[in-house]
Amino acid sequence: MQSLTVELAERSYPIHIGRGLLDMPQLLAGSLQRKKAVVVTNTTVAPLYLDRLLVNLQSIGVQVVSAVLPDGERYKDWQTLNQIFDVLLGSRCERSTTLIALGGGVIGDMGGFAAACYQRGMPFIQIPTTLLSQVDSSVGGKTAINHPLGKNMIGAFYQPRLVIADTDTLNTLPDRELSAGLAEVIKYGLIRDLPFLEWLELNLERLLARDPEALAYAIHRSCANKAEVVAADEREAGDRALLNLGHTFGHAIETGMGYGEWLHGEAVAAGTMMAAELSAAFGWLTHSDVARIEALLQRARLPVVGAELPVERYLDLMSHDKKVEDGRLRLVLLEAVGKAVLSDKASEAQIMSAIARRLPNA
Ligand code: NAD
Ligand code: GLY
């Protein structure tokens, strides 16, 4: 097992990464305020891992109930969130009961938001089971649900007490979901860690083949990058925004196509290519840099062109982005491969042209 810490003073917490961690309830014991917990998961993950977690928690004397939600991005909404509150209230959970999110980013984001709201805040633990959630969404305390007009628009910053990434759970993950997770892994290399990007270029096939050693390395390195950024800028006053490379374009695809049509990681990959095109238009990236990024995303079996929506629709959806300030869109661009920057310099025409270059049949 490898461990690292997200340094946030009195709210610091560990991330444990390794094989078989679901069967080590002692990892959880120290982080439970009381011997009562509620596990939030979904109908796909429950048959795979819920019973094991429940039995292991009971073995250390924890009284535990579960909330099993429908599976899918389209359920990341108020109605489904309310199902968590129904279980919390129905089973008389107290403010000191711990909520454990067992699943991918959708469950982590919703479980975290429920924990932030229930009785104004209950302790919360993340047990991420997708690559995307192990490298990104379980770390850093962003929690949210979607609104029909925009992704992740209703939420809170609320840090977990502990993150446990059992890499064995990735063995049951569909290939398409593994690739979606790789989009966020590649992101860290592109925005701030060129040596990691070079490692990914050499080791991508090992990751696709689920080589446990390669996966553990990539997850640890991704979490180390994320932990460093979050520790320096928890509430995204500055550099944390750089973690959103490709996301403003990508969120437009997710919302525009209907939640769940495109996986988050797929939309981020296509959005990253749009950001790369805009960076090239500014003269920051060369055409061979753009081709290099495209080649890596393609090897990861990710889309490198966006969804077929009118360019004007992209712009409209992007205008809801959380990085909009005084009505002006700020975008994460690449000054160089391995170095991201937040910029409000792009004109509407430049943004539209970058999108158009990455549309089907462009
Ligand atoms: P997801 O949660 O929808 O999980 C993907 C699919 O895999 C689901 O069908 C899920 O049930 C299934 N699954 C989960 N674990 C499995 C396993 N071990 N074996 C088999 N199937 C399994 O999607 P995701 O990619 O994990 O997360 C995407 C979400 O995360 C989006 O809503 C996105 O907005 C959010 N996100 C949040 C942050 C953040 O900082 N909070 C960062 C990135 C993404
Ligand atoms: N996924 C972006 C962030 O956590 O800030």
Per residue, what are the HEC states of 184-251?
HHHHHHHHHCHHHHHHHHHHHHHHHCCCHHHHHHHHHHHHHHHHHHHHHCCCCCCHHHHHHCCHHHHH
What digits encode the pLDDT tens for the residues 246-290?
999 999 999 999 999 999 999 999 999 999 999 999 999 999 999
pLDDT by 10-residue block (mean), the chain, 362 residues: 97 97 94 93 98 96 97 97 98 97 98 98 98 98 95 96 98 98 98 98 98 97 98 96 97 96 98 98 98 98 97 95 86 98 95 97 82
State how beta strands 142-147 and 2-6 pair: unpaired
Q: Please give the number of the atom of ligand 1 that sits closest to the Cα of 133.
A: 26
Residue with the smallest CA separation from ligand 1 atom 44 is 137
Q: At what angle do helices 78-90 and 105-117 cross, to 10 degrees?
A: 60
Q: Where are the domains of the chain?
A: 2-172, 175-356
Whether the CB of 250 sits within 6 Å of ligand 1:
no
Q: Counting ligands in written order, which one lies closest to the CA of residue 152?
A: 1
Residue 32 near residue 38, CB atoms below 8 Å = no
- Which are the contacts of 232, defined by CB distance < 8 A and separation ≥ 6? 239, 240
Q: Locate the ligand 2 atom nearest the alpha carbon of residue 137 and give its number.
A: 1
7 is catalytic: no
> 309 C-alpha vs ligand 2 centroid, how far in Å?
25
Q: Tell me whether residue 264 is one of the annotated catalytic residues.
A: yes
Ligand of minimum distance to the alpha carbon of 264: 1
Q: Would residue 244 show up in a list of annotated catalytic residues for this protein?
A: yes
CATH architecture of 2-172: 3-Layer(aba) Sandwich (3.40)
The ligand that comes nearest to the alpha carbon of residue 230 is 2
Catalytic residue among 184, 234, 254, 266: 184
Query: Is 226 one of the catalytic residues?
Result: yes
Pocket test for ligand 2, best of 133, 134, 139, 142 (most atoms within 8 A of CB): 142
- 15, 5 in Cβ contact below 8 A? yes
Using the CB atoms, write b or e for 101-122: b if 16+ within 10 Å. Answer: bbbbbbbbbbbbbbbbbbeeeb
Task: Determine which one of 36, 76, 161, 251 is catalytic.
Answer: 251
Same fold, 2-172 and 175-356: no
**Per-residue pLDDT tens over the stretch 150-164:** 899 999 999 999 999
Active site residue 287: no
Closest ligand 2 atom to the C-alpha of 236?
Answer: 5
Question: 254 CB less than 6 Å from ligand 1?
Answer: no
Query: In angstroms, rounded to a whole number, what is the distance separating the alpha carbons of residues 148 and 20?
Result: 38
3-state DSSP: the chain helix, strand, coil percent, rounded to 5? 50, 20, 30
Tell how far the Cα of 90 is from the centroid of ligand 2, in angstroms. 32
Give residue 137 CA to ligand 1 midpoint distance, Å: 8
Q: Using an 8 Å Cβ cutoff, are 330 and 323 in contact?
A: yes
CA dihedral sign, ordered 146, 150, 155, 160: positive
> Exposed e or buried b for every residue in 62-85, given b needs 16+ CB within 10 A?
bebbbbbbebebebbbeebbebbe
- Confidence (pLDDT) at 10: 96
251 in active site: yes
> Is 56 designated active site?
no
Using one digit for the tens of pLDDT, what is the confidence trace for 241-250?
Answer: 999 999 999 9
What is 175-356's CATH number?
Answer: 1.20.1090.10
- Residue 98's SS3 state is strand
Question: What is the distance in A from the centroid of ligand 2 to the CA of 173?
Answer: 22
152 Cα nearest atom in ligand 1: 34
Nearest CA to ligand 2 atom 3: 243
Which pair of tokens denotes residue 170?
Answer: 């990735």
